[in-house]
Structures are given as C-alpha cells and as structure tokens.
Chain A
Amino acid sequence: MMHNLISLTVWTPIVAGIIVLFFGKNECLARYLALLGAIIGFIFSAIIFFKFDSNFSGIQFEENIPWISQLHINYHFGVDGISMPFLLLNNFITVLVILAGWRVIKHKVALYNSMFLLMTGFMSAVFGALDAILFYVFFEAMLIPMYLIIGVWGSSNRVYAAFKFFLYTLMGSLLMLVALIYLYNVSGNSFDIFTYYRTPLTMVAQILIFVAFFFSFAVKVPMWPVHTWLPDAHPEAPTGGSIVLAAITLKIGGYGFLRFVLPIVPDASRFLAPLMITLSLIAIVYIGLVAIVQKDMKKLVAYSSISHMGFVTLGTFLFVGPIASVWGLQGAITQMISHGFIAAAMFMCIGVMYDRVHSRNIADYGGVATKMPIFATFFMLFSMANSGLPGTSGFVGEFMVIMASVQNNFIYGLIAAISLILGAAFTLWMYKRVMFGEVNNHHVEEMKDVNGFEFVVLALLAVGVLWMGLYPEIFVSKMQVGVHDLVVQVANSKI
C-alpha cells in the first residue's frame, strides 16, 4: 500500500464522489458518505506528509506504469518538496468544505458533495502528476465540476460567471496542450516532465512555449490583466465553491509556474522576468486599490486574493530575476499555502454571515460583533492574517517575498511593501463596517452565533493560520530540498 499512496489519495475522493452521485437519494447518507470519503483521502495525504523524507532529493512515492503506450503516456505520479504540501492542503480543505455545506446546502445535496469530491481527486492528481498529459487531463477535468458548482449553486449572475470561468481557463489550457505536444516531438517522444527539464530548446521556442504556458497558468493564478474572471466567479459561487477556488484552484497556477515554466524554459523565464515582475507589482498595488472600493464582501476578498497571488508570481519570477533569490521562491510557496488557509477562512466567514442575512453587501451589516461574539473573534484573527500581521501565516510569505524584492531592486521592495498597507486598509475597513458600530437593521438583530459545524471549521482554519505563522518550520523544512533541486535546475541554461 505504501507505494500506492498517491493513487489512493487521488482515487479515494473520486470513487467516493461517484458513489455519492449514484446512491445519494438519501441526503443524510450522501453527506456522511461524502465526509467519509473526504476524511479517508485526507488521512492518505497526511500519511504522505509524515512519511515524506525531507532530506531526500528527488521524487518520492513514485508510481510509474504505462497508460497509453501508443503515445508514450504514463500513469506517473510522485511528489517532491514542492508539490507535497499542496496535496495535504487540498485534502484538508475538502473536509472543511463538506462540513461547511452540511447544514447550508439543501438543494441537490448528492450532486454538490460529489462534485467537490471529484474536484479534490482531480486536483490531487494535478499536484502529483509527473507526466505532462496526465497532468493536463486532470487539469482540464477540473473545469467540469467547477462549472457545475458555480452554475448550479451560485447566485443571480451565476451563468455568466460559469461561462466566463470555463472559457477563460479552457483557452489557456488548450494553448498549453499544443506546447506539450511540441515538447513531445522535440524531446524524442516523451511526455515525461523531467525529460523536458533536460531538453535543449532555442530561445525562440522557449519564448513561444513560455507564452503558451503563461496563458494557461496566468489565467489560473490569476495575474493581471487576465484576472477578470475571478471577481465574477467568486461572488456567484456557493461558499464551498469559493473556498476551493481560492484555496486550491488558484494555487495550481502558481504550482504550474514552478513545475513547468521555470525548469522547462529557464532562459525565457529569465528573459521575461522583468515583465512578469511588473505584472505582479501591478496586481499587488492596483488590485489592492480596487479591493478597497468594493461594496460586496466576496468581491472584496476575491480582489484581495488576486493581490496576494501577485506575491506568488512576484516571488517566483524574482527567483529568476537579476539576482537569483531563493527567498523569493520559498516565499512564493509559503504564500500559496498560507493564502490557502486565509482565503478559505475569509470566504467561510462571509458564508457564515450570508447564511444568516442572505446578503453580501457590506452596507447591510453593522454591529455584528455584538450579536456574534465568538464569530467576531475568529473573523478578527483571519482579517489580521489577511492583512499580513506578524504571528499569522499571512506575514511569513509576504515578508520573504519583500526581502527578495529588496535584494533585487529597492523600488520593487518599496512597491511590494505598499501592499501591506493596502491589505490592512481594505480588510480592516471592511471588518470595521461589518462588525462594529450600531446594529442598523432587523436582520442583524436576529443573527445567532456560530453553530457546531461552523465552529469546528473556523477553529481548524484558525489552527492552520496560527501554525503556519508561528512555526512554519514544519512546512519549510519539508520543501527545502525540493526548492534546492529547482534552484539547481533553473540555473542551467538550455540554449
């Protein structure tokens, strides 16, 4: 069983999802089955996390069998220090999502839970895949459940949001497919990602491949200016959908840059790094400013996600910038994990309020803290984390990336640091308007404090946020060797 752990992590939720879909006539049974599937998947990913040898350089838990032999496509899974934390995060978040929807989702329960389980399995496969087509298959397959999640359970403008989400991401991935097929032909008929790492490529080919990958991953991250689908998708998605979207799906973009773009086209990455850094800085500052003026809480957090993901791309490309800074790379990965917790927590908090008042408008709230004191405490913690307070996870990654920026260029550091102010501004101002002040309408008057399910979910997220903030060592040490391997890889020129 030990050498099949990744397969088990991938397939347990998928099989559970299919079972739930077919045997979910009874809503209660569907919920319990889904929770069981999610927990078993989480246990497998936790075993991987603890069994992971942090001193070993290379791929662990590797599985490699031929899948489509005519096309040399293999069923090739394995994790290194970079992908492993995501596997754990992904399965952790799914348990929370199933719990979060326990009381709230009353409409097509089986389909809802099954779609989330399928999503989890697909995303685990994306993080574990070492064969380009295996990666691609799951990368695209994710769109189907997400399309249905947004479209079926979303709110008023859901159809528009679902289409925009699907077509935007599909456009990116189709171009990536052509790039992968091209790589297959130049690398001597192989879809193995590590073979691509060694394949020499001319500068022109590298830049074209970079562009194809860029469209695919930048849309997922999302980077400015291809970010516009996210603020539309988020407010319309149900709470669980928003959590998965923000916490995991966006990370696939950042992960793709690390797994594909930097090692496969290192020279093009170096060449285009200034452009990417500029785009990231624009995302950080401009989107931060946009977030301040939002009237809709979910839109606000969506914009804040884009701004925070700007740090991920900034760190990634500072790493191949003029002064290769490992801080940037480590910061990018830490920021992704941390943002996974914080974004999930923020959307969860908004979901808790939405279920009581059925409004996402900041103006409809006020004085919630007096009615929901326990909730207010949690929300305070997460808001602080979102604005990057030291001691929470939000601080660690942003700090590392800002350090890397200062190393490279003081101006970069200065601009990146502005985001700490902006982050505090949009988060805390929203917190103030929603939680403090007078109770200004009868909906707020009737609000009850968090119930058991919500408390468990918020508490688990709080543990994650504080753990990553106070003792990031346990994650950082596991990724150290993986980061080092990537450093060595990217340092080589391929021309």
Chain B
Amino acid sequence: MNISLFAAIPEIFMAAMIVVILLLDAFVADNKKHLNTIFTLAALIGGYILQVYVFIPGQIQLAFGNMFILDSLAQGMKLFTYILAIVTVIYIKHYINDKKIMKGEFYAIFLFSILGMLVMISANNLLILYVGLELLSLALYGLVALNRDSTKSTEAAMKFFILGALASGLLLYGISFVFGATGELQLDKVFQAISTNGSQNAGLLVFGLVFIVAGLVFKLGLVPFHMWVPDVYEGSQLAATTVIGSVTKLASVVFIIRFLIGGLVMLSHDWSLMLSMLAFLSLFIGNIVAIAQTNIKRLLGYSTVAHMAFIAFGLMTVSVNGISAVVFYTIVYAITALAGFGVLLFLSKDGFECEQIDDLRGLNKSHPVYAGIMLLVMFSLAGIPPLAGFYAKFTILQALVELGYIKSAVFAVVLSLIGAFYYLRIVKVMYFDEKDVGLQVANVGLLPRVALFINGGLLLLIGILPSGLMNICTQMITS
C-alpha cells in the first residue's frame, strides 16, 4: 500500500493555514483585520507554489493508499482553482469590509471550500469524492448563511442545505449500489470491474447510476434539480455568490468527469441519454426563465443553468474532443463569470448591493471601463466572437456534430439565440439608458482594479488566441 503523502502536500498546507487563520482572528485587534486577507492570500499563493513544485510532469502520483491522485487533469484544474480563488479574494476584500464580515471565519470558511474543491479534483475513490464534495458544500452553506440577519440569506441557506443534503444522500445511495455491484470504491478498479463482468449486475448498476446522476447534476444545477441555483445566487451576499458562481464550477465539473468518465464510462450509453434529456430541459428552462428576471444575480443563476447544459452536452459525447471542450468551457465560464461578479462587487458600496439590472443604468456614462468589461462579459456569455465564450460554445458544438448529434447542436444554438436576448438587455441598460445621478464605484484600490482589467482583457485575449488554453485543456485530458 502506498502511504506517501507527497502529492497531497499543498492540501495539507492549506489545512494548516486555515487553522492559523482561525487562531489569528482571535488574537488580532479589530482595526488590523486586513491581516486576515494577507494570510489568506499567502495561503493560496503558497498552495499554488507548492502545487507547481509537487507535480512531476508525465507521471501520475498517488497518495493515501491510492485514494488521492495527482494527474495532469488534477494539476491543471488545481492551478486554475488557486488562481481564481486568489482573484476572488482580491475582488471581495472591499465588499466584505464594507459589509462588516471581514472576519477570520469568512476567510476560514472560504478556504475550507477551496480545500474541498482541491480534494474533489484529486479524488480517486468514490468516498473521497464524496468527502471533498461535503467539505465544499458545508463550507458553501456557511458562506451563504453568514449574513444571518437577512431573511433572504437565511432562506437561501436553508434551501441550499436541505436540497444539497438530499442530493448528497442520493449520491451516497447510488455509490452504495456501485459498491454492491462491483465490490470496489477505487475509480480505476470500478472501471475494470464493470468492463470485465459488468453485465452480471447490470440492473443494479443502472439503478445506482440513476441516483448518482441525480446527485451529480444537482451540483451542476441542471433542470429539474436547478431550483436552488437562482435562489442561492439571489439570496447570498455578492461575495458568496461570486464564490459559488465562479471558482466552484471547476471542481464540480472535474468531479463529474472523474465519476462518469473515470469510473462509469462503460455505462455511458445509459448516462449520456439521461444527461442529454436534462441538458435539453436546462437549455430550455434556463434561457426562457432568465428573460423574465430583473435581478442580475438571479439572472446569472438561470444563465448558469443554461451554460451547464452545454457542459452536459459535451460530457454526453464521451470523446476526447468533447471532454477537453468541457474543460475549456468550464474554465472560460469561470473566468467570464468572475469578471462579471467583479464589476458588481465594485459597484456595491456603503451597504448598497448592486443587484438589480436597473442599478447598472447609464454605467457607460459614469464608468466606461467597468461598462466595457461588463459588455465583454455579456457578449462572452452570449457566445459572440471574438470573445472567449464563442470558442467555448464552438468546441462543444463541434464535438456534438462530429458524433452526429446535429439536432442537439441546432437546438443548442437556437436556444442560445434566446439567451442572447437577456445578455443584450444588460448591455442596453448600461449603454442606451441614461441616468441623472452617476453610479458610485467603491474606492477599491489599485490591485483589484488592475486584476479586473486583466480579467476583462483575458476574455478578449482568449477570444483572439484561444489555442494556448485549448492546448492546455487537451493535454489535461489526454494524459
């Protein structure tokens, strides 16, 4: 048995840093709370450096008795997770200071969620996947509930918790069936067991698979398991929405890839049918219902549902191209959403929360740069070239057409046309409408502004030269 812990050093470091931050918070004075931010950034940057150092290219490293895996997919996604988490911390610093939640526990919970993501990304065992998921989910429930005086937040947290716990239960129930049918929990062994004598327990496996898929797509937020997404997006404070809406997606998608492609690929015939139906529904409901929204957070929630449908379409193809398209889509989506939330965070000031579409009225007049970034975000989400979102959709469509799913591709593009409408509406509000009083932007300091500017520029850069990121994604998948 392999008991080396080398591959898990960054995660162990993160866990230690979380304890340090919790202790630190108890000892520093209220006027020095920015130390928390500095330590959090240090933890994330340290984790990033260790991660780079730990990885040996071209080799699959295992730890904890093969329950923990560090392959190139894990390495790539973890590095992106660290970067997105660092940018998130930079964006939300001002906001949480303003909302008076600049406390150790916020950062500790946030880092716990990051740790959960890292564990999910590296899990090589069904139970470790589950543990990572629970670590992430519990931390997220905490983040949503942190604003305890708001009924909306509390309601959102309760919904999130109850539904999330139910979904976790379904997942665990499904896992137990897989274990019963194969006698294994290790992903590669499950794969082997199904491919050698899968037909023996086919009924049992498919029965379990239904529960697993239900649990997994709950995390993605596909219809009909989507109702928590808009409620949680709207109910949480922007800082928490930013975490849920952006960086978390990376881990969720790797989680599904590991489950369905790594372990249960032999059952792809069954689950791809389920995914395709859920994806159709999600595209339809996500895009149509988003039109009626007036709250941006809620709108972005429904838009996430529609975007995750594209990811499900990519998974459905079970091809190398399709899966690398899924990874590409996820990264692009996370970067795009982060820039969008960044703008909203900067516009929230003195207890005011920038969350209605009307709050952005006339933004171009008062702050052309922020309006420009939001414009890039919206067109990228709508999938208009030359922005990153176009190539994300393009690669997925290509994977679909390659395997002959032409009707799905046509359906997807027709519904993304409907989707374009509500993104355009936000651009319209910013550019076409005028407002008497200009919007106030919080004085966030230089670093966040530079970060946001780079973030927005990246959407254009990936749009013009997407091959670099595509290469990285293909490499992550092929090895």
A residues in contact (CB < 8 Å) with B: 67-71, 111, 133, 136-138, 140-141, 143-144, 147-148, 151-152, 158-159, 162-163, 166-167, 170-171, 174-175, 177-178, 181-182, 184-185
Contact = CB atoms under 8 A, between A and B. Distances in A.
B403 to A, nearest CB: 9
- For the complex of A and B, the 6 pairs showing the least CB-CB separation, nearest first, are A174-B413, A137-B385, A151-B432, A181-B401, A68-B467, A140-B385
A181 B385 contact: no
B390 interface: yes
B384 A144 contact: yes
B398 A71 contact: yes
Interface string B356-380: 0000000000001000000000010
B410 interface: yes
Contact of B384 (A69, A141, A151, A162): A141
A70 B474 contact: yes
Interface of B: 368, 379, 384-386, 390-391, 394-395, 397-398, 401-402, 406, 409-410, 413-414, 416-417, 420-421, 424, 427-428, 431-432, 465-467, 470-471, 474
A213 to B, nearest CB: 14
Chief secondary structure at chain A's binding surface = helix
Q: Which of B385, B431, B471 has the most CB of A within 10 A?
A: B385
B432 A67 contact: no
Nearest to A140: B385
A162 B429 CA distance: 13
Contact of B394 (A111, A148, A163, A177): A177
B424 A178 contact: no
A181 B409 contact: yes
Contacts of A144: 379, 384
B424 A147 contact: yes
Given A68-B470, A70-B474, A163-B424, A178 B384 contact: no
B467 A151 contact: no
B471 A162 contact: no
Nearest to A174: B413
A159 B428 contact: yes
Given A111-B368, A140-B384, A152-B431, 18 more contacts: A67-B465, A71-B395, A133-B394, A136-B385, A137-B385, A137-B390, A138-B385, A141-B384, A152-B432, A158-B432, A159-B428, A167-B420, A170-B417, A174-B413, A174-B414, A177-B413, A178-B410, A184-B398
Contacts of A162: 428, 432
Contact of B413 (A67, A138, A152, A175): A175
Contact of A178 (B402, B409, B427, B466): B409
B427 A147 contact: yes
Contact of A182 (B385, B406, B414): B406
A68 B471 CA distance: 10
Contact of A68 (B379, B432, B466): B466
25 contacts: A68-B466, A68-B467, A70-B471, A70-B474, A71-B398, A71-B470, A136-B385, A137-B385, A140-B384, A147-B424, A151-B428, A159-B428, A159-B432, A162-B432, A163-B428, A167-B420, A167-B421, A174-B413, A175-B413, A177-B397, A177-B413, A178-B409, A178-B413, A181-B401, A182-B406
A167 to B, nearest CB: 6
A143 B432 contact: no
Nearest to B368: A111
A128 to B, nearest CB: 16
B432 A171 contact: no
A140 B390 contact: yes
A317 to B, nearest CB: 25
Contacts of B385: 136-138, 140-141
B170 to A, nearest CB: 35
Contacts of B413: 174-175, 177-178
A175 B412 CA distance: 10
Contact of A181 (B384, B398, B417, B420): B398
Contacts of B424: 147, 163, 166-167
A177 B390 CA distance: 11
B401 A163 contact: no
Nearest to B403: A185
A151 B401 contact: no
A32 to B, nearest CB: 21
B417 A178 contact: no
A115 B158 CA distance: 48
Nearest to B393: A177
Given A178-B397, A185-B401, A163 B432 contact: no
A136 B393 CA distance: 14
A362 B287 CA distance: 43
A163 B291 CA distance: 14
Contacts of B391: 68
Contacts of B417: 167, 170-171, 174
Contacts of B410: 175, 178
A148 B395 CA distance: 28
B202 to A, nearest CB: 33
Nearest to B400: A181
A138 B391 CA distance: 13
Contact of B401 (A70, A158, A178): A178
Contacts of A141: 384-386
Contacts of A136: 385
A199 B467 CA distance: 27
Nearest to A183: B401
A71 B401 CA distance: 14
B87 to A, nearest CB: 23
A214 to B, nearest CB: 15
A185 B428 contact: no
Nearest to B397: A181
A79 to B, nearest CB: 21
Contacts of A184: 398, 401
A185 B432 CA distance: 41
A174 B394 contact: no
Given A147-B424, A163-B424, A178-B410, A185 B397 contact: no
A67 B402 contact: no
A148 B431 contact: yes
A111 B371 CA distance: 12
Contacts of A167: 417, 420-421, 424
A181 B395 CA distance: 10
B350 to A, nearest CB: 29
A416 to B, nearest CB: 34
A283 B6 CA distance: 73
Contacts of B397: 177-178, 181
A182 B398 CA distance: 8
Nearest to A184: B398
A136 B398 CA distance: 14
Given A70-B470, A162-B432, A174 B401 contact: no
B119 to A, nearest CB: 31
B471 A170 contact: no
A69 B428 contact: no
Nearest to A153: B432
Nearest to B425: A163
Given A140-B384, A163-B421, A177-B397, A69 B432 contact: no
A170 B467 contact: no
Contacts of B394: 133, 177, 181
A488 B432 CA distance: 49
A140 to B, nearest CB: 5
B291 to A, nearest CB: 12
Q: Which of A70, A136, A162 has the most CB of B within 10 A?
A: A70
Contacts of A166: 420, 424
Nearest to A110: B368
B439 to A, nearest CB: 17
Nearest to B417: A171
B421 A182 contact: no
Contacts of B414: 171, 174
Contacts of B465: 67
A25 B389 CA distance: 30
Contacts of B427: 147-148
Contacts of A152: 431-432
Contacts of A71: 395, 398, 470
